[in-house]
Amino acid sequence: MSLLKLCNVSKIYNQGENRIFALDNVSMEIENGEFTAIVGKSGSGKSTLLNILGCLDTPDRGEYYLNGRSVEHLSENELSRIRNSTIGFVFQSFNLIPTLTAFENVELPLKYRGISKNERKCLALSALEEVGLSERARHNPSQLSGGQQQRVAIARAIASQPPLILADEPTGNLDTKSENDVIRILKRLNQSGRTVVVITHGKKLARVADRRITISDGRITH
């Protein structure tokens, strides 16, 4: 059974008279343990696809199965529970809370999940260690470079040890060295058993993936 399976999924936006098929009859499967890169021009539907895979959005047509289970009739609460237990998200713009330290940023989603203080500390510190930032735990985002902030965001995504990592252009705002750091971390996460799906414009990141899916005008072209 595939971890992720889309069957004839469309997502349609209405803009005045025009209907835009952000996704147009997309079918695809991703297996457990795969590292997949989604590539394509700006506006081609990549983020829409990732948002559906991450249960942040739902298809207008077609079916999405996560772990063999259709998400179609799930309530907002159930979707949120699935997101929290299954998926770690990483975005291009880090989305850290500026007034919290690196440690507190990583710890916050664990707090929302009701995990005890001791366990939170253990999980958050080990996630920061995994991205090589143990020494920076007490720093605020403004005291960190862009690359370090993205590594904190990755630590936050992996702290609860989700089996699936979804990243929307995670290296889009980074210099070459930080880009390489982030690529290395994502590759290592995949090698330790996580399924990773990244959207990227970067050739290097696309190259380390096992598989590349290209979309154009809402359709998978290869």
Residues forming the site for ligand ADP (CB under 6 A): 13, 15, 20, 22, 40, 42-48
Residues 6+ apart with CB under 8 A from 27: 6, 7, 8, 9, 62, 220
Residue 57 Cβ vs ligand ADP, minimum distance, rounded to whole Å = 9
Helix (H) or strand (E) holding 4: strand 4-15
Could you tell me how far CA 38 lies from the centroid of its own chain?
12
> What span, in angstroms and rounded, lies between the C-alpha atoms of 36 and 40?
13
Binding at 195: pick from ligand ADP, Mg ion, none (beta carbon under 5-8 Å per type): none
Report helix, strand or coil for 164.
Answer: strand
Q: How far is the CB of 118 from Mg ion (least distance, A)?
A: 39
Closest distance between ligand ADP and the C-beta of residue 144, in Å? 26
Separation between Cα atoms, residue 38 and residue 81, nearest integer Å: 25
Whether 50 contacts 197, CB under 8 Å:
yes
The two three-digit tokens of residue 129, written as one number: 């260690």
Q: Which is nearer to Mg ion, 92 or 195 (CB)?
A: 92
Nearer to Mg ion, 47 or 171 (CB): 47
The entry of ligand ADP, Mg ion, none that residue 22 binds, CB within 5 to 8 Å by partner kind: ligand ADP
Residues within the interface to Mg ion (CB under 5 A)? 47
Q: Which is nearer to ligand ADP, 32 or 216 (CB)?
A: 216
Identify which of residues 47 and 105 has a Cβ nearer to Mg ion in the complex.
47
Torsion over CA: 81, 85, 90, 95 (sign): positive
Q: How far is CA 55 from CA 58, 113, 120, 190, 195, in A?
A: 6, 18, 25, 21, 16
Decide which of Mg ion, ligand ADP, none touches 202; Cβ closer than 5 to 8 Å per partner kind.
none
Q: How far is the CB of 12 from Mg ion (least distance, A)?
A: 17
Taking CB atoms, the residue at the shortest distance from Mg ion is: 47
**Closer residue to ligand ADP (CB): 152 or 166:** 166
Residue 17 and residue 132: Cα distance in Å, rounded? 51
Rounded to a whole number of angstroms, the minimum distance from the CB of residue 138 to Mg ion is 33
Q: Is 15 or 42 the residue whose CB approaches Mg ion more closely? A: 42
* Residue 45 binds which entry of Mg ion, ligand ADP, none, CB below 5-8 Å type-dependent: ligand ADP
CB of 151 to Mg ion, least distance (A): 21
